[in-house]
Structure 1
């Protein structure tokens, strides 16, 4: 099947799903004001090339609490400090989990790391481990000599450079727009190649970390691992 008929078929399927979802939820609770979404793509065109400028302009028309439908994903925008405080402080437990996205699935071990894990017992356990063993005053003091030595002798370590490069690539991919996150019907097509890049980076991270773990198990670790 050529690409054009495939895209046409996918678009028609997405449109049918969109119409069915809107027809079967006539009594759902009212949403904040916002611009009328287009079929399939929703309010994605309203974001424009500079989204934060577009959101600021929309807030002047619809107020500090807005509703946008990005593809098939409903999004509530807090456009003022006081409204943001309601989400991040007053009702933070209700909004603590991150929404599903391809980066969390393909890079962050299917939502199992500290950043993307849903709020709950596992997330609290991971946070406690980091607070006690990585970021406490005692832990930071225990690793002080490692940081001091790294400042003097750490330049040029191939493993450290590789790790830094992977972290930079991760940050770039995590912030990259992926149309499949908002229109699930086209997710499997990976139109932008983002998912492929994420899977490749995940494989590199896995191999890198497994090598370090195996060195520790075999007793060949030099004691200057870049992840300390």
Structure 2
């Protein structure tokens, strides 16, 4: 846990940077077009206090006051909120290519192989290759896989078997598999860290302090996940099979897409990682 001195120093540094950047933007941004209406931001933290304990309720209340298109400043990050179906369609359908990239985040940088998975990768040829590979992997199986609709345990086990050939919660005979236990622990930790609000993502001057230790935990988890997935790829590289049995087999066997592009080992590991995270969440 960070000491009080480190916290005070970090806030003081953030305050100084904030006022310097504010002055710079006021001088250099006079020709910029106006932003949508929204609540007046606080220094440094912006509109973060307006979100409250239940952000989606707070945003709905703000939208009733400022309209379906409004501006929030979360820390140093400007955010435009689309609070109606018609306005959201402008972003998601009509102008989707202009708003397809995700903003920088600690999760994308430290866990998702520096934005190389399909969730965080910038829109472009590599992203289209990742999407194509995932679609082919989803439709490439020749046997139906029945997933549990209620039990998260069944979902996690099915994912483990389909992705890397391992059960997550014990083997089929009820025995203990250390590798499966390791995989299970990392998947759970990944889901927990993915839901953490990291203030450094919105106040960049605090990134060097890592006050919440989020970046340190993500780096540690990424190292363990990368070691595990690298071992899985090496195992499959040393085995020969007539046809792919798992997603990792299919991804490693993909030939060139005709444009000289092919998935790297890092991109394969990133795809496996995002599929594990997305699929291991319990059904709603």
TM range (shorter): 0.7 to 0.9
Equivalent residues in 2 for 1:69-108, closer than 5 Å: 69-108=73-112
Take 1:68 and 1:209, find their aligned partners in 2: how far apart are those partners? 39
| Higher relative helix content | 1
Equivalent residues in 2 for 1:163-178, closer than 5 Å: 163-178=183-198
Gaps of 5+ in 1: none
Take 1:140 and 1:205, find their aligned partners in 2: how far apart are those partners? 25
- When the two chains are superposed, the root-mean-square deviation of aligned CA atoms in Å is 3.0
Matched, 1:50 2:70: no
Equivalent residues in 2 for 1:30-179, closer than 5 Å: 30-132=34-136, 134-136=137-139, 139-142=140-143, 144=145, 153=172, 156-179=176-199
Question: Structure 1 pair 8/42, CA: closer, same or farther in 2 (3 Å)?
Answer: same
Residue pair 2:118, 2:130 contacting (<8 A) in 1 also:
yes
SS at match of 1:113: coil
Take 2:230 and 2:24, find their aligned partners in 1: how far apart are those partners? 46
Matched, 1:214 2:234: yes
Query: TM-score, normalising length from structure 1?
Result: 0.85
Cα distance, 1:5 vs. partner?
4.1
Gaps of 5+ in 2: 147-160, 250-284
Residue pair 2:186, 2:221 contacting (<8 A) in 1 also:
yes
SS at match of 2:86: helix
Higher RCO (CA < 8 A, seq sep 6+): 2
Query: TM-score, normalising length from structure 2?
Result: 0.70
* Aligned mate of 2:224, from 190, 199, 204: 204
- Identify the range of structure 1 (113-122 vs 85-94) with the bigger mean alpha-carbon deviation: 85-94
Take 1:190 and 1:87, find their aligned partners in 2: how far apart are those partners? 33
The residue number in structure 2 matching 1:182 is: 202
Question: Structure 1 pair 203/143, CA: closer, same or farther in 2 (3 Å)?
Answer: farther
Q: How many residues align?
A: 223
Residue pair 2:10, 2:209 contacting (<8 A) in 1 also:
no
